[in-house]
Structure 1
Amino acid sequence: MRLLEKQEPASCPSPAARELGDLSAGGNFVRLSWVVSGVGTGPPEHRRCRKSIREPAWWMLVAHWAPEASGAESQLVTATVKVMAAQSWVLGRVKGVAGALRSAGETPAGPGLGLLLAGLGAGGSSGGGGCSLGLETKWQPSCESHVWPLESWLSTWPRQDSQGASRALVTAPQETVPFGDAVLSTWDTCIGSEVCEELWTPHSPHVDMGLDGVEIFTNASGSHHVLRKAHARVDLVTMATTKNGGIYLLANQKGCDGDRLYYDGCALIAMNGSIFAQGSQFSLDDVEVLTATLDLEDIRSYRAEISSRNLAASRVSPYPRVKVDFALSCHEDLLEPVSEPIEWKYHSPAEEISLGPACWLWDFLRRSRQAGFFLPLSGGVDSAATACLVYSMCHQVCEAVKRGNLEVLADVRTIVNQLSYTPQDPRELCGRVLTTCYMASENSSQETCDRARELAQQIGSHHIGLHIDPVVKALVGLFSLVTGASPRFAVHGGSDRENLALQNVQARVRMVIAYLFAQLSLWSRGAPGGLLVLGSANVDESLLGYLTKYDCSSADINPIGGISKTDLRAFVQLCVERFQLPALQSILAAPATAELEPLAHGRVSQTDEEDMGMTYAELSVYGRLRKVAKTGPYSMFCKLLDMWRDTCSPRQVADKVKCFFSKYSMNRHKMTTLTPAYHAESYSPDDNRFDLRPFLYNTRWPWQFRCIENQVLQLEGRQRQELDGVD
């Protein structure tokens, strides 16, 4: 039996995320093709959006349809329909789905492939043959509730027993159709469906389905990218088929969903704990097809060897069967060579960063209809990493065009406003779509200016160099004119308030200049369109609030806002080798600095880690403990006592935790204005989307800090007693 998996993008304007299954038994093999989504039904400019717009809450309906067929050809269509919970609907609206399924049976494009569902409100049709086999309700709480907080809207669909499938009225001539839990039974096998999150639940539907005799499991998934997540996704599928046997088809959506998430593909075909086909994780291609030829008898022999499974199977509550009057295989399949298992090839975290955010940037650029990006390039690691992501995007665009991707070619021609243009050199394309700008002040060093210019030359961006001192002096002069007071930097005898205000005005001026040039720089060159402003604040700095509100961290989008400094440095090092960018070496070697305070003898006198009072490595630890482990000050102190027992005393750990939480709570208000960032880490500090904790805290943490202090005193007293005992 041959299994063929086809993965396509979802349509943005439609509330339906579709899954089509086209099983055709003809010749010497059975072909099963999985289409994650079909062609969009909205305006032409939206039809190739790569992930459907998500509503605040939704259910999933899996609809099964068997069109009439003649001769040896039989088809089975399975559609996974996303339904807005906000819509007011009743079971009678299932008529629209049944009608759309019925009309899909005789489309010129082929059985099933013409299925166009615009949601449950789709118009019905009484024409065409075939019948509706059943409608399954699918909804599960999200794998990451901080990404899809739907539990307050919906409750999970309960499992029905064998007699519990309800029936709903549909269009004539068919009066009823099963509505609830069911599996499809052909002459030679049995097929069950899961949807996305159901694979991740403690007791997934495939467990009972497999014990009840289901041999093929399908999953139309909407799983977004997070660094190092592919391992978990593959392990779940292989473990599911290792324990239970069977064939598992996983098709995941691809592309940007219109906000911070990116869906990274990774379609696969697995059987009995082994992988037989692997799809790409990051790609600009809208359609991807996987094929594998597998023997159903291997499933049965595998399951027969697991005696404990057979005992469990005798106790399982059976699923309702919807019988389909054809087979997926035939006797001639004996001549069809079977596929061999393969080893899954994983990307390193640095490779994931080079590919995922770059694909996300491309989707944002082509869908926003802008002419490129504008990036304030400071000569530091963060802005350099952002520039490298755009350069990586240009590489992927050129590669896609070389492979013959006409849709990418059409998009890039629209972006550069040249219908005859064909990108061949990433550096040349980068010069068209990326404008970088070094905004110097009297506090900037020549070294950072040189590093920014050299990197811009090597990636080919259109680079601008300017000085912001006239604007800064005008603003400070205006303040002095109105108040009669002249603020000074700390090195010149000013207070901390004066020092901070003079730093912030420089940072905020850069944001204003960035948007001015993003809107008018192409106009000044006689080119149409505007530019998207890119931010370059990493997740660690955002977590601590080590940024100026409404400075260059305020932008249209931020491709590195969910990535830690440690991972960014690894990515930049990868770019040195992969893209041959030697300018990055000096950027990696230089200390991180904001360059907002006066230089000391022409040298930088300010470093980020000194200003923060902690290292970036420590910040990454704090972030995961605060967000993922849900720790407060005292819980974090207890965990770090063990983690850092070889390097820090209890007093030092206590001081570090107090320092972090004091600054975290003091700057928490800045998280309400963060630029939308690529979601790459589970501890993103963005309270608007991922972190719903308050942004107004008591910065003194009196009760928690008192508990920490009491614990430190007890530990220090115990250590003194132990030392006295040794003496």
Structure 2
Amino acid sequence: MEETRLVLAAAALNQTPMDWDGNLKNIQDAITKAKNNNADILLLPELAVSGYGCEDMFLSPWLSEMAFEHLLQLKEWCDGITVAVGVSVFYKLKVYNTACVIKNKEIVGFTAKQFLANDGVHYEPRWFTPWPADVVEEFEVNGQRYPIGDIIYEEKGVKYAFEICEDAWRPNRPAERHMPKGVQLILNPSASHFALSKTDVRHRLVVDASKKYQCAYMYANLLGNEAGRMIYDGEVLIAQNGKLIRRNELLCFKDVDLECAEVCFSRNPTIEEVIEYLPPIDENKELMAALSLALFDYMRKSRSRGFVLSLSGGADSSACAVAVAEVARRGVESLGLEPFMKKALLFSPAEIAEVSALPEEQAQKALVKKLLTTAYQGTVNSSDDTYQSAKELAASIGAKFYNWTIDEVVRNYTSTIEEVLGRDLTWEQDDVTLQNIQARVRAPGIWMLANIQNGLLMATSNRSEASVGYATMDGDTAGGISPIAGIDKAFIRQFLIWAQQELGYIGLQYVNNLQPSAELRPAEEEQTDEKDLMPYEVLNQIERLAFHDRYSPLEVYDILLKDGVADGATLKGWITKYYSLWSRNQWKRDRYAPSFHLDDYNLDPRSWLRFPILSGGFREELQLLKDR
């Protein structure tokens, strides 16, 4: 074929389910940016019109009707350009996930997704119907007929087709059929959720496909915390013949992040620019970027007035505090100071002017002071070390810091129950009760601060604690968002050391020298989390083998024994404790505040892992372990 050059553009969008005005504004901005770059084709993410995370609302026919009305509105912006945008279509009483192609203000067709994601956090078959290969039909709206199905398009003599997200992850992917038909360009609109190091897999998927099929491949993902739990990294990739041409910076705070490249189509295309992509990813840096963006989007989309945190001086609450500080630092780095403050929906014009006049370090602390309110709620069992840890960290990042004790409130509850029972409560007989009341009475005061400020209260439980129920319901689990419930404790501990050393959060030096402890028993008992449970590294190994790799208790034992983790008797004790606590505490996991999906798995029954609240508790399985 003769040489043809196309300017290809792809944009990551920070959308919100059913925020029609906001979503269309982002789409319009992307189209304008693409036109300014003289783009021939613009690719937008999967289901960008309505938002990907509409969940069961997709089952309501009116939602697809609304989406189509807005599609007709946005097509009028597509003069002189071809735009591919994700939209749901209600057809023959079924819902289809499609990419609509608009060329010069005319709808050319709808390519329907053929493979639906149905693993991990995905439940697409609940809402959508897969489209069969090589089938094209028509549907009618307002007297106008449109083709829908497995369509091949053309732009200036270049044939192109689609793989919609999951389509590209299957062995019999659509590209296998498209290439023999002369397709030279594959477009992939996606809603591919964030997980640590997943970008490495996605990069190989795109680049390897462009090499295998000797084509150009363009990919556009959603960006930000779209609907509450899932985070999207906003990845944009353009590759050709096994070479990466464009890749953007992931997890930025923009609403629209667009990349363009001029691509040559011929028998031996000229590839003038190549990007060297060098893994591995720094997972600490990646986690901080995802967590801070997720918190920022959650705050502004929920119209919350900042964050409130019970800062205990321990690792978990310290991680939450630093994540909010990073909201300010990374937000300003990504957007600039004034645009960040405006987007946060938190600052008045006078405050924006005041902060803008400050030196950089003072401005950063001023932002955090507005974003984060903390409180240390001590008891007679609290140590001076954790108080210093909390106070110094808050001061170092600029957060508001309050300090009060809860001993009198604890005594009031305790004496009331002692009077009712006619006996004293003792640590020997009432250990868990006396621990829990301390954690639980911390909740009302911190909730009051959150209510007064219309702030978002952060719960501080991590994934390791959720796994075994090592948390007090309505105590440390109290909150409107549980940002680190998807991260294990061992990762958090090394993450905080990294944040101190690499990001300069010197206030973390205190918590990084402490052994994790709930500090709910008398000080002379020297309570630590790992004495109460088991080493966190071992807990995490059991958890992953049991619920990510899906091994039985006996198989977990055999694997850990072979790996030399501990002797047989010790392992049996740890594994028995783990499974017993896991099954007993599913009700707690069902009640956790919404959490983010950050790793390749999580324990949230509303997103990744369902388990019955009532079960046999692995009794027979653990007996087999005991008899080994």
* TM class by smaller structure: 0.7 to 0.9
Cα 1:344/1:267, change in 2 over 3 Å: farther
Determine the structure 2 residue equivalent to 1:35.
44
Q: Does 1:588 align with 2:512?
A: yes
Q: Distance in 1 between matches of 2:33 and 2:463?
A: 49
**Does structure 1 retain, via aligned residues, the 8 Å contact 2:381–2:523?**
yes
Decide which of 540, 545, 549 is 1:629's aligned counterpart: 549
Q: Distance in 2 between matches of 1:514 and 1:27?
A: 50
Q: For the aligned residues, what is the CA RMSD? A: 3.4
**Does structure 1 retain, via aligned residues, the 8 Å contact 2:11–2:45?**
yes
1:550-606 CA distance string (max 9 Å, x none): 212221102111011222123212221233222312311211100001112xxx610
Q: Which aligned pairs between 1:246-325 and structure 2 lie closer than 5 A?
A: 246-297=215-266, 300-301=267-268
Once the two structures are TM-superposed, the CA of residue 221 in structure 1 deviates from its matched residue by 0.6
1:409-464 CA distance string (max 9 Å, x none): 3233x313445515452222111111111110010111111111111110111101
SS of match in other structure, 1:680: coil
**Does structure 1 retain, via aligned residues, the 8 Å contact 2:312–2:376?**
yes
Once the two structures are TM-superposed, the CA of residue 23 in structure 1 deviates from its matched residue by 13
Q: Distance in 2 between matches of 1:37 and 1:260?
A: 17
Decide which of 203, 211, 219 is 2:180's aligned counterpart: 211
Which of the two has greater helix per residue?
Answer: 2
Taking structure 2 as the reference length, the TM-score comes to 0.87
Determine the structure 2 residue equivalent to 1:358.
292
1:364-405 CA distance string (max 9 Å, x none): 111222221111111111111111000111102222442x77
Determine the structure 2 residue equivalent to 1:611.
532
Once the two structures are TM-superposed, the CA of residue 707 in structure 1 deviates from its matched residue by 2.5
1:271-330 CA distance string (max 9 Å, x none): 112211111211111111212222212xx348xxxxxxxxxxxxxxxxxxxxxxxxxxxx
Q: Does 1:415 align with 2:349?
A: no
Cα 1:120/1:431, change in 2 over 3 Å: same
Q: Does 1:511 align with 2:432?
A: no
Q: Does 1:376 align with 2:314?
A: no
**Does structure 2 retain, via aligned residues, the 8 Å contact 1:230–1:346?**
no
Q: Distance in 2 between matches of 1:25 and 1:419?
A: 35
Once the two structures are TM-superposed, the CA of residue 186 in structure 1 deviates from its matched residue by 4.1
Q: Distance in 1 between matches of 2:273 and 2:580?
A: 58
SS of match in other structure, 2:299: helix
Q: Does 1:434 align with 2:408?
A: no
Determine the structure 1 residue equivalent to 2:460.
536
Q: Distance in 2 between matches of 1:145 and 1:354?
A: 26
Cα 1:30/1:360, change in 2 over 3 Å: closer
**Does structure 1 retain, via aligned residues, the 8 Å contact 2:47–2:88?**
no
Determine the structure 2 residue equivalent to 1:385.
319
Q: Does 1:235 align with 2:185?
A: no
**Does structure 1 retain, via aligned residues, the 8 Å contact 2:312–2:387?**
yes
Cα 1:471/1:105, change in 2 over 3 Å: closer
**Does structure 2 retain, via aligned residues, the 8 Å contact 1:252–1:267?**
yes
Q: Give the counterpart letter for 2:389 in structure 1.
A: R
**Does structure 2 retain, via aligned residues, the 8 Å contact 1:105–1:111?**
no
SS of match in other structure, 1:421: helix
**Does structure 1 retain, via aligned residues, the 8 Å contact 2:10–2:44?**
yes
Q: Give the counterpart letter for 1:610 in structure 2.
A: K
**Does structure 2 retain, via aligned residues, the 8 Å contact 1:100–1:115?**
no
Q: Give the counterpart letter for 1:459 in structure 2.
A: I
Q: Distance in 2 between matches of 1:28 and 1:227?
A: 33
Q: Distance in 1 between matches of 2:585 and 2:231?
A: 28
Cα 1:395/1:345, change in 2 over 3 Å: farther
Q: Give the counterpart letter for 1:622 in structure 2.
A: I
Q: Distance in 2 between matches of 1:103 and 1:227?
A: 37
SS of match in other structure, 2:187: strand
Q: Give the counterpart letter for 1:620 in structure 2.
A: N
Determine the structure 2 residue equivalent to 1:76.
none
Cα 1:40/1:661, change in 2 over 3 Å: closer
Determine the structure 1 residue equivalent to 2:619.
702
Q: Distance in 1 between matches of 2:323 and 2:198?
A: 20
Which 5+ residue runs of structure 1 have no aligned equivalent? Answer: 42-50, 58-83, 122-127, 303-333, 521-528, 713-727
1:336-381 CA distance string (max 9 Å, x none): x832343256641100121111111111111222221111111111
How many pairs does the alignment contain? 601
**Does structure 1 retain, via aligned residues, the 8 Å contact 2:316–2:460?**
yes
Which 5+ residue runs of structure 2 have no aligned equivalent? Answer: 92-102
Decide which of 581, 594, 597 is 1:679's aligned counterpart: 597
Q: Distance in 2 between matches of 1:33 and 1:155?
A: 26
* % identity of equivalent residues: 24
Q: Distance in 2 between matches of 1:405 and 1:499?
A: 52
Cα 1:391/1:54, change in 2 over 3 Å: same
SS of match in other structure, 1:54: helix
Q: Give the counterpart letter for 1:568 in structure 2.
A: I
Taking structure 1 as the reference length, the TM-score comes to 0.76
Q: Which has the larger radius of gyration?
A: 1
Q: Distance in 2 between matches of 1:349 and 1:702?
A: 38
Determine the structure 2 residue equivalent to 1:188.
157
